[in-house]
Structure 1
Amino acid sequence: MKMTGNTILITGGTSGIGRALAEALHARGNRVIVTGRRQSLLDEITAGQPDLHGMLLDLADPTSLSHVTADIRLHFPELNVLVANAGISRAEDMTSDSWDASDAEAIVETNILGVLRITAALLPTLKRQADATIVATSSNLAFVPRADFPAYCASKAFLHSWLQSLRHQLRNMPVEVLELAPPYVQTELTSVDQASDPRAMPVNAFVKEVMQLLEQQEHPRGEVLVERDQARRWAERDGSYGAIFAAMNPA
């Protein structure tokens, strides 16, 4: 992925990792389109920022997606980078008599179908570019799950597998496919408390390391992994899976 002169669309770009990526990429001389479901946040992010644009997008709404796709084709036909970052996370207690599949369905709708829908909508535009990239945000939990977030972890494992297939199918096209698999980062993904949890990696430190990896093209197998990701990524290979799973999921 080249680091400047791109036109980039980022889903879930109004907070957390998405917003930090948007700001970092914009600072490197890229035109950045941020999407989200709250106009007030889009206005706040883009105010007074040339080449930083906001678009309302609800990936669960086919009409919303078709409007954004049409706007991209009309106003940003040079779009060459998609960052499919939108995602949600919810804890689930499957031992409870009140547990049902509603939270899991919402997670699948956003984390899996949302990525597939935005990729399908914009892939024809990306394939027309000389140098295009698709980045999708999975998670370190794709490799070793936290059992109290079962559907979330499974959704990210799905993306890890699906991206490998997408990368293989696009191997003869000028479209690079990258997987961004963050560790536990100080965002509000699971709760407000996560944003200040000292055990989590500061979001700006995470994005700074990601930018360095992209600039140096240090993403073997198409996986953008910061140093904190490595132990879980290779847990099965290294024979440490059981110990890491037990530490993450105490009895």
Structure 2
Amino acid sequence: MKTTGNTILITGGSAGIGFEFAKAFDAKGNHVIITGRNAERLQKAAAQLTHVTPIVYDVVDKNATDALVARLEAEFPSLNVVINNAGKASYYHLDGDDNVAELAEEEIVTNYLAIIGLNQKLLPLLKKADEAAIVTVSSIAALVPNHFLPTYAASKAALHSYTQSLRIALGKSTRIKVFEILPPLVDTEFSAEIGGAANGIPPKQVADELVQAFETDTYEVLTGRTADVFNLFLSNPAAALQAMNPGLQLQSA
């Protein structure tokens, strides 16, 4: 996949990993369209980029999705890359929170269903490009869950499965390449509550590895510690679950 001369939509592109994606691809001469719900933060992010269009957008709003797609078709017919980065995570225990179902619904809609909806509506535009890509930003928790992030992990596991199916489907009938990047804990505001500042990898590392994946057509990117956890899961699933939930006495499967 080429890394220059693209027109790239990045949802959740005003902060964290999404902003690092924007910086990395902007620096290589691509035009980046960044979205976010907070207009002020979006404008501050855009001011740090060169080839950028900021658009206020909430991925869970279906009417807003229709409006975004219509604008992209009218103003950016050369759009050929979609990076589905916007996400939501809630930290809680399944045995004690009364609003578990509500939190789970928010995560499933944001991290999974909204992505399917946006991708599906952008496929006609992407199919017109000589070379195109869809990227999903999954998680180490898609492979092995952490009990602090129970339904976030479930939403990312669903996204991981969907991404694999999408790759197969589009690979049979289109020129659209499907990438998935699965970061471990990352040092962002998003993960500050669970120790991202102390234990997370830099968001720039995630962005750099996505650029490298484009260069080499590596479609599944196990970033940082994710590769080790995945390999452990293949050889010893129980040990991998323990590694993702340290200090707990786990029931055997």
Please give the TM-score of this superposition, normalised by the length of structure 1: 0.92
CA contact (8 A) 2:13 2:35 kept: yes
User: What is the rounded CA distance, in whole Å, between the counterparts of 2:72 and 2:99 in structure 1?
Assistant: 40
CA contact (8 A) 2:93 2:148 kept: yes
Partner of 1:245 in structure 2?
241
Partner of 1:166 in structure 2?
166
Q: Does 2:60 align with 1:63? A: no
CA contact (8 A) 1:90 1:190 kept: no
Q: CA RMSD in A?
A: 1.7
How do 1:212-227 and structure 2 match up within 5 A?
212-217=212-217, 219=218, 222-227=219-224
SS in 2 for 1:205: helix
Amino acid at match of 1:177: V
- The one-character-per-residue Cα deviations of 1:33-90 (angstroms, maximum 9, x if unpaired) are 0011111112112227442110111112122111111110111001000001110111
CA contact (8 A) 2:201 2:224 kept: no
- The one-character-per-residue Cα deviations of 1:99-143 (angstroms, maximum 9, x if unpaired) are 431111110110011211210121110011110000010101111
Amino acid at match of 1:70: A
Q: Does 2:12 align with 1:12? A: yes
Seq. identity, %: 37
User: What is the rounded CA distance, in whole Å, between the counterparts of 1:111 and 1:138 in structure 2?
Assistant: 9
User: What is the rounded CA distance, in whole Å, between the counterparts of 2:208 and 2:158 in structure 1?
Assistant: 26
Partner of 1:89 in structure 2?
89
Amino acid at match of 1:196: A
SS in 1 for 2:212: helix
- The one-character-per-residue Cα deviations of 1:216-236 (angstroms, maximum 9, x if unpaired) are 33x2xx202224221222333
Q: Name the CA shift for 1:105/1:129 in 2 (closer, same or farther; >3 Å).
A: same
User: What is the rounded CA distance, in whole Å, between the counterparts of 1:208 and 1:4 in structure 2?
Assistant: 14
Among candidates 214, 227, 237, match of residue 230 of structure 1: 227
Measured after TM superposition, the shift of residue 92 of structure 1 is 2.4
CA contact (8 A) 1:187 1:194 kept: no
User: What is the rounded CA distance, in whole Å, between the counterparts of 1:211 and 1:50 in structure 2?
Assistant: 18
Partner of 2:184 in structure 1?
183
CA contact (8 A) 1:188 1:194 kept: no
CA contact (8 A) 1:59 1:117 kept: no
CA contact (8 A) 1:86 1:114 kept: no
Please give the TM-score of this superposition, normalised by the length of structure 2: 0.91
Amino acid at match of 1:59: V
Amino acid at match of 2:57: L
CA contact (8 A) 1:166 1:177 kept: yes
Q: Name the CA shift for 1:74/1:104 in 2 (closer, same or farther; >3 Å).
A: same
How do 1:177-216 and structure 2 match up within 5 A?
177-191=178-192, 194-197=195-198, 199-216=199-216
Partner of 2:131 in structure 1?
131
Structure 1: gaps (5+ residues): none
User: What is the rounded CA distance, in whole Å, between the counterparts of 1:210 and 1:173 in structure 2?
Assistant: 21
CA contact (8 A) 2:94 2:150 kept: no
Partner of 2:100 in structure 1?
100
- Kindly tell me the number of residue pairs found equivalent between the two proteins: 246
- Runs of 4+ off more than 4 Å: none
